[in-house]
Structure 1
Amino acid sequence: MSEDGQLAALVDACHWIGARGWCPATGGNMSIRSSEQRCLISESGKDKGSLRVEDFLAVDIASNQVDDTRTPSAETGLHTLLYRSHPAVGAILHTHSVNATVLSRAELGPTLDLTGYEMQKSLTGVGSHLESVVIAIFENHQDIPTLAAQVAERHHRDPLRFGFLVRGHGLYCWGRDIQQARRHLEGLEFLFHCELQRRLLETK
Structure 2
Amino acid sequence: MVPAELANALAEAGQRMDLRCWVPGSAGNLSARVDDARIAITRSGVHKGRLKTSDIMAVDYDGKTLSEGMKPSAETLLHCQLYRLFPQVGAVLHGHSVAATVLSMQGAITFSDYEILKAFGFATHEIDVVLPVYANDQDIGRLAAYIEPLLLRDPPIGYVIAGHGVYAWGTSVEHAYWRLEALEFLLQCELERRRMK
Q: TM-score, normalised by structure 2?
A: 0.94
The aligned residue for residue 158 of structure 2 is 163
User: Residue type of the partner of 1:114?
Assistant: F
Q: Output the CA distance in 2 between the equivalents of 1:9 and 1:81.
A: 21
Q: Output the CA distance in 2 between the equivalents of 1:91 and 1:71.
A: 19
Q: Output the CA distance in 2 between the equivalents of 1:89 and 1:3.
A: 18
Greater shift in the superposed pair: 81-90 or 3-12: 3-12
The aligned residue for residue 175 of structure 2 is 180
Once the 2 structures are TM-superposed, how far is the Cα of residue 169 of structure 1 from its aligned partner?
0.3
The aligned residue for residue 64 of structure 2 is 65
Once the 2 structures are TM-superposed, how far is the Cα of residue 3 of structure 1 from its aligned partner?
4.0
Structure 2: any 5+ residue segments left out of the alignment? none
The aligned residue for residue 6 of structure 1 is 6
Once the 2 structures are TM-superposed, how far is the Cα of residue 132 of structure 1 from its aligned partner?
2.0
User: Residue type of the partner of 1:156?
Assistant: L
Residue deviations 1:3-34 (CA, integer Å, cap 9, x gap): 43233222111101011111001001000000
Q: In structure 2, the residue corresponding to 1:26 is in which secondary structure?
A: coil
User: Residue type of the partner of 1:40?
Assistant: A
Greater shift in the superposed pair: 148-157 or 89-98: 148-157
The aligned residue for residue 137 of structure 1 is 133
The aligned residue for residue 128 of structure 1 is 124
Q: Output the CA distance in 2 between the equivalents of 1:146 and 1:156.
A: 16
User: Residue type of the partner of 2:115?
Assistant: E
User: Residue type of the partner of 1:43?
Assistant: R
The aligned residue for residue 116 of structure 2 is 119
What is the RMSD of the two structures over their aligned residues, measured on CA atoms?
Answer: 1.4
Once the 2 structures are TM-superposed, how far is the Cα of residue 140 of structure 1 from its aligned partner?
0.4
User: Residue type of the partner of 1:117?
Assistant: Y
Q: In structure 2, the residue corresponding to 1:141 is in which secondary structure?
A: coil
Q: Output the CA distance in 2 between the equivalents of 1:186 and 1:39.
A: 22
Q: TM-score, normalised by structure 1?
A: 0.91
After the TM superposition, which residues 12-91 of structure 1 pair with which residues of structure 2 at under 5 Å, given as runs? 12-61=12-61, 63-67=62-66, 68-91=68-91
For this pair of structures, how many residues does the alignment match? 195
- Give 4+ residue runs of structure 1 displaced > 4 Å after superposition: none
Q: In structure 2, the residue corresponding to 1:58 is in which secondary structure?
A: strand
The aligned residue for residue 94 of structure 2 is 94
Q: Output the CA distance in 1 between the equivalents of 2:116 and 2:151.
A: 24
Once the 2 structures are TM-superposed, how far is the Cα of residue 134 of structure 1 from its aligned partner?
1.7
Percent of aligned pairs with the same residue?
Answer: 42
